């Protein structure tokens, strides 16, 4: 059964007992330290080994791909909920979104290996499902209100998990919005929606387009555009 600890310098450390292991071993996988010890081994000796290898591990972590691991240690906050992952005695994975509390609860079986790509895919799927639920709950009404407030019209709305764009608008005034908008603060969600609504009038990014954007954002279009670049459409 895996255990997870957190080191102030090295971050999350997964401790794994392997009956076939003959010695203590350390590796870095997806930016996470995995420490393996043989059956009957001592965690005290294992952490002594980790301390001996601390300098090497810090170098490996710096060189490891910057990929966020979904685990109980992760801090993940969206516009409407925070993520809480726990290990339980359940034999299956389970998710529950409590909109009143603003928490997405994900329960995992005790022996869960959070470095397993299949586990990561499953957990990412849970989070995407929750984001899609919240996007459907929030974005259509927000789009309708902003269009009404500023005198825009559009023909339809489609929500999708797009990887490269926050949104788009077709020549037929069909608006597409990414569910990743739910990772943004309110004012940037509004900025993206207004950006696409302005495209219902000006399909390009001409000076006329930015004039309309400044009009509906109180001359903050470029500042908001710059702030948006600090965020990514990739959920993980």
- Contact criterion met (CB below 8 Å) for 13 and 36: no
Q: For position 25, what pLDDT does the model report?
A: 95
- Contact criterion met (CB below 8 Å) for 19 and 39: yes
Could you tell me the pLDDT band of residue 63, with boundaries at 50, 70 and 90?
Answer: confident
Q: For position 1, what pLDDT does the model report?
A: 61
Give the CA distances from residue 226 to residues 3, 214, 220, 231, in Å, rounded to whole numbers and listed in that order.
42, 14, 10, 10
Query: What span, in angstroms and rounded, lies between the C-alpha atoms of 97 and 36?
Result: 34
Question: What is the reported pTM?
Answer: 0.73
Q: How far is CA 205 from the centre of its chain?
A: 29
Domains of the chain: 3-63 (no CATH), 82-132 (no CATH), 135-228 (3.30.2010.10)
Could you tell me the pLDDT band of residue 104, with boundaries at 50, 70 and 90?
Answer: very high
Q: For position 67, what pLDDT does the model report?
A: 64
Query: What span, in angstroms and rounded, lies between the C-alpha atoms of 35 and 233?
Result: 33
Average pLDDT over residues 68-93: 93
Could you tell me the pLDDT band of residue 62, with boundaries at 50, 70 and 90?
Answer: confident
Could you tell me the pLDDT band of residue 97, with boundaries at 50, 70 and 90?
Answer: very high
Average pLDDT over residues 76-96: 95
Query: What span, in angstroms and rounded, lies between the C-alpha atoms of 236 and 210?
Result: 31
- Contact criterion met (CB below 8 Å) for 109 and 93: yes
To 10 degrees, what angle do helices 207-216 and 221-228 make? Answer: 90
Q: Which residues of 111-123 are buried (b: 16+ CB within 10 A; e: fewer)?
A: ebebbeeebbebb
Could you tell me the pLDDT band of residue 11, with boundaries at 50, 70 and 90?
Answer: confident
Backbone angles phi, psi at 34, to 5 degrees: -115, 115
H or E element in which residue 124 lies: helix 117-150
- The sign of the torsion formed by the CA atoms of 21, 11, 101, 157 equals negative
Contacts of 199 by beta carbon, 8 Å cutoff, 6+ apart: 168, 169, 209
Strand partners, 82: 77, 103
């Amino acid at each position: 059964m895996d255990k997870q600890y957190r080191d102030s310098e090295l971050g999350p450390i997964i401790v794994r007992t392997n009956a076939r292991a003959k010695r203590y071993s350390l590796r870095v996988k997806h930016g996470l330290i995995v420490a393996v010890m043989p059956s009957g081994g001592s965690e005290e000796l294992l952490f002594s080994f980790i301390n001996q290898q601390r300098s090497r591990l810090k170098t490996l972590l710096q060189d490891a791909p910057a990929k966020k691991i979904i685990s109980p240690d992760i801090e993940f906050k969206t516009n409407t909920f925070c993520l809480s992952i726990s290990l339980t005695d359940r034999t299956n994975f389970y998710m529950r979104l409590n909109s009143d509390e603003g928490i997405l609860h994900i329960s995992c079986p005790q022996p869960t290996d959070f470095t397993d790509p299949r586990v990561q895919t499953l957990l990412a799927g849970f989070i995407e499902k929750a984001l899609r639920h919240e996007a459907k709950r929030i974005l259509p009404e927000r789009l309708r209100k902003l269009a009404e407030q500023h005198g825009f019209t559009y023909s339809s709305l489609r929500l999708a998990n797009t990887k490269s764009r926050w949104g788009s608008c077709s020549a037929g005034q069909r608006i597409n919005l990414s569910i990743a908008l739910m990772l943004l603060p309110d004012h940037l969600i509004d900025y993206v929606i207004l950006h696409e609504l302005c495209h219902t009038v000006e399909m390009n990014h001409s000076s006329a387009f930015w004039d309309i954007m400044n009009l509906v954002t109180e001359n903050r279009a470029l500042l908001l555009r710059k702030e948006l670049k600090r965020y990514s459409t990739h959920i993980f």
